[in-house]
Each structure stands twice: as structure tokens, then as C-alpha cells.
């Protein structure tokens, strides 16, 4: 169905400007509330965003000392110390360079004997923190947000998901071969994402053109997970290099 949404669309001149705009939104949020609960994402698209946050911290413009963070997802079966893990990614791109307290940093646990229990515990931690204040998202070519693949119900919380082959192919650049890309991940559910008070979605590059067009269509369907964002009252989409 078609719905009316409170989307704000910002077209950036280039990738660097997109990253700077997004970082400014988060920095302004932290300045207003030092105890902000941040929802963070990984992948190629947010790297410039994290570079801007680190630069702002080093310039004395922002502090993360009282903030708390929750990451969207993590691969199942990948050790946190592995360079392909999202734990490693976040340390490399942000946490090792700012003053966020380790006790306030949270990522899903991809290595657990009981993954379903780990997912339920992560969901409970997010709720106990009062839910995410401001959530960063990217989008997959097939419309996934977090690792919620097409067909994922909109009403599920943090859960274990089998990754689509297209997602594994897109992520193989971070591994030695496609065989090394995990088949499953633990991810915030769409319900969890929609519980965030504010959402910032980054879209960059021609490979995301189809996903961008489908999102602009405002048609909400579980076949396109990002369309669930049209059910949220405060979404800012910052995009570049797409028509």
C-alpha cells in the first residue's frame, strides 16, 4: 500500500558531504544529550561517517564519554578479534579513537552456545536502555536493513537470520573467499529498528539505485525490508550518486 511518511530526503553532492551531514546530525544530538543511546551500523557506506566523528572528537567538538551504543548486527561464528568481524570494524573505525567507555559499547554476540538466548538478551538490553535515540542505517541492494533479508516479518525483535546469497556475495570483499562468508548473522529486528526515536539512512552509489527507487516509491512490503521505515515518524535519508 502507499503511505504518507515523515521522511526527510537530503541529496549530498558527494560521498564526503553525505558523511559530514550524517555526522553533524549525530554530533548535534550528542551535544544536546550527552547520554544519547546510539544505534550504529557497519559496512563500506558508514566509513566516512565514522571518520568525521573521530575528527570531531579529536578537535574537541564532541564527547562520547556518557553515550551508549548498540550495533545492528554481527556475523554468526566469527570471533570478535577476527578482522572480518563487526567488533573489529567498530574498534578500527570508531571506538579505539574516541572516549566512549567500553562498558557502554554493545554488539550482538555471534559466538554463543545458545544464539537464540543471546538474541533475546540483546533485545532486552536495548529495551532496558530506553531504546535507541538515534539509529544509523545503510541499505542492501535487496533492501535489507541490518541483516533483515526480504521476507523478514516487520514485527520481530533481535534474531538469527540466514543471509541471502546476494548479501554474502556483496560482503565477500571483506573475506578471502565466498566460502569464508558466514551463512548466518544475529541482527536487530525491524521491530527493534523501528523502536528507535530517530533514524538516519545513508544511500550511496549506483549499486543502490534500485533500492533507492523502491524506497522512493513508498510501497510498504515485507519483500523490501527498508520499506518498513515508512512506518516510522522520523527518518532522514541522505543520499549521493543515485538519481
176 is catalytic: no
99 is catalytic: no
Length of the chain: 243
d(CA 135, CA 123): 15
Cβ–Cβ under 8 Å, residues 29 and 59? no
149 is catalytic: yes
Cβ–Cβ under 8 Å, residues 143 and 226? yes
| Residues whose CB is less than 8 angstroms from the CB of residue 132 and which lie 6 or more positions away in sequence, other chains included | 37, 38, 39, 70, 126, 193, 195, 196, 197
Q: Can you name the residues that pair with 145 across neighbouring β-strands?
A: 148
Please pick, among 29, 71, 93, 142, the residue that the annotation labels catalytic: 142
Please pick, among 29, 87, 93, 144, the residue that the annotation labels catalytic: 144
Please pick, among 29, 52, 71, 73, the residue that the annotation labels catalytic: 73
144 is catalytic: yes
Please pick, among 52, 123, 133, 149, the residue that the annotation labels catalytic: 149
Show which residues are catalytic. Answer: 73, 142, 144, 149
Amino acid at each position: 500500500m502507499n503511505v504518507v511518511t515523515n521522511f526527510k530526503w537530503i541529496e549530498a553532492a558527494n560521498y564526503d558531504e553525505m558523511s559530514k551531514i550524517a555526522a553533524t546530525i549525530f554530533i548535534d544530538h550528542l551535544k544536546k544529550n550527552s547520554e544519547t543511546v546510539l544505534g550504529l551500523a557497519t559496512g563500506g557506506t558508514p566509513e566516512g561517517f565514522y571518520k568525521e566523528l573521530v575528527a570531531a572528537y579529536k578537535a574537541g567538538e564532541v564527547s562520547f564519554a556518557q553515550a551508549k551504543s548498540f550495533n545492528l548486527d554481527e556475523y554468526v561464528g566469527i570471533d570478535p578479534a577476527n578482522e572480518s568481524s563487526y567488533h573489529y570494524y567498530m574498534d578500527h573505525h570508531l571506538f579505539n579513537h574516541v572516549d566512549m567507555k567500553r562498558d557502554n559499547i554493545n554488539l550482538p554476540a555471534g559466538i554463543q552456545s545458545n544464539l537464540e538466548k543471546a538474541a533475546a538478551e540483546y533485545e532486552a538490553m536495548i529495551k532496558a536502555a530506553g531504546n535507541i535515540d538515534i539509529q544509523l542505517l545503510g541499505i542492501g541492494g535487496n533492501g535489507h536493513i541490518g541483516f533483515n533479508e526480504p521476507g523478514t516479518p516487520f514485527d520481530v525483535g533481535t534474531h538469527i537470520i540466514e543471509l541471502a546469497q546476494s548479501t554474502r556475495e556483496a560482503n565477500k570483499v571483506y573475506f578471502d573467499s565466498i566460502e569464508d562468508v558466514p551463512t548466518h548473522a544475529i541482527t536487530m529486528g525491524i521491530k527493534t529498528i523501528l523502536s528507535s526515536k530517530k533514524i538516519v539512512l545513508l544511500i550511496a552509489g549506483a549499486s543502490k539505485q534500485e533500492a533507492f527507487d523502491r524506497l522512493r516509491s513508498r510501497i510498504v512490503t515485507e519483500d523490501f525490508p527498508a520499506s518498513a521505515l515508512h512506518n516510522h515518524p522520523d527518518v532522514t535519508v541522505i543520499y549521493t550518486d543515485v538519481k
